[in-house]
Structure 1
């Protein structure tokens, strides 16, 4: 019997992407510190956070399940000029972030970590998408901030929402920017 897939995330976007890709899975959110380890490079910082989520989810799930399962954890960061931008602290911070991104490119990196419960086998990898923003006016930025959409999103925008109108073009998987690169998930699952 195939092990059950468990998404250890409270992200509605990740849940939606997995559902649309035809996966059958349970959702068991976990909370961990998402403060990056400054001793690691940016890619490894993001992988480290995804692994922390898996480490937190595994014992929690093992205590309540008898069947074998694979836990899926992910972390998505918006990287500008080599540093993660994170989610805006307030409206002014959202403005600062969007002003930074205006007319320039940034990267969205998602780390995916899968761990199999009975063997402890882990596979993880990152996916990167480059996003090019057009020049934004102050009016556009404040109008967007007024929608409330940027406030809970890394980089202060959602490409699948109204923030998508700021994107001139991108290179790499779109779903990676939304929060979960589904092709990478399929590829990693095939290793079990």
Structure 2
């Protein structure tokens, strides 16, 4: 793949994640990132506290993609990873349907903290900015029948914490305390801060269609 730089000197954004929810969130915010999946083995962070796990995995994903030949020249590479903390335990994607059911039986009627690590690397300078956003999530008193039906859809098997707030699981989340987008998978206010920290303008990253009035 040839190197590409925006003709206006604005860096391309590369998303080092396979998450369709993150991609949709960024596109809705006016960005049009290139997706390059990191392929990082997430077990590398096993045993870390949830807050640290989310950040380390984000850093590993960012580094794995930033070093590849196909990354556009001068791009900003974003790595993200989300983890739900419940009773001090880090909950990523469930192992299987049985695990997802067990988690929901433990989560219902309670709250957990959703951590999303963000790591942004400027490939032109090598500078890195990283931080973790946290949002408290309150879960409904769902019934066993609702849990079984939800798990049967397959949705909770592919997301951290075994739930979504922007999909079928949204009806089972009674409230949040913090950034809504962070629960979806990428905190837009935090990402803006990281972009500015690296010396760039958030609005310059908007796609031409978003900038057009």
Does 2:16 correspond to 1:12? no
Q: 1:101 to 1:36 in 2, by over 3 A?
A: farther
Does 2:150 correspond to 1:175? no
| Aligned 8 A contact 2:136 2:176 in 1 | yes
| Aligned 8 A contact 1:71 1:114 in 2 | yes
DSSP-derived class of the 1:144 partner: helix
TM-score by length of 1: 0.93
DSSP-derived class of the 2:197 partner: coil
1:65 Cα deviation from its structure 2 partner: 5.0
Deviations along 1:119-159, whole A, 9 cap, x unmatched? 21100011111011121211111111122211111111111
Q: Give the whole-Å Cα distance in 1 for the aligned partners of 2:48 and 2:95.
A: 24
Please list, as runs of the form range in 1=range in 2, the aligned pairs for 1:14-29 lying within 5 A after superposition.
Answer: 14-29=22-37
| Aligned 8 A contact 1:114 1:124 in 2 | yes
1:155 — aligned with what? Answer: 161
Alignment counterpart, residue 109 of structure 2, candidates 82, 103, 107: 103
Deviations along 1:80-131, whole A, 9 cap, x unmatched? 1111112122221111000010111001110110011122110001111101
TM-score by length of 2: 0.84
2:56 — aligned with what? Answer: 48
Q: Give the whole-Å Cα distance in 2 for the aligned partners of 1:161 and 1:24.
A: 22
1:121 — aligned with what? Answer: 127
| Aligned 8 A contact 1:36 1:45 in 2 | no
| Aligned 8 A contact 1:36 1:46 in 2 | no
The count of aligned residue pairs is 190
- Extract unaligned runs of 5+ from structure 2: 1-8, 199-213
DSSP-derived class of the 1:190 partner: helix
DSSP-derived class of the 1:43 partner: helix
Deviations along 1:9-49, whole A, 9 cap, x unmatched? 11111111110000132111111011253564321221111
Q: CA RMSD in A?
A: 1.5
Q: Give the whole-Å Cα distance in 2 for the aligned partners of 1:41 and 1:146.
A: 30
Q: Give the whole-Å Cα distance in 1 for the aligned partners of 2:145 and 2:41.
A: 35
DSSP-derived class of the 2:42 partner: coil
* Superposed structure 1 runs of 4+ greater than 3 Å apart: 36-41
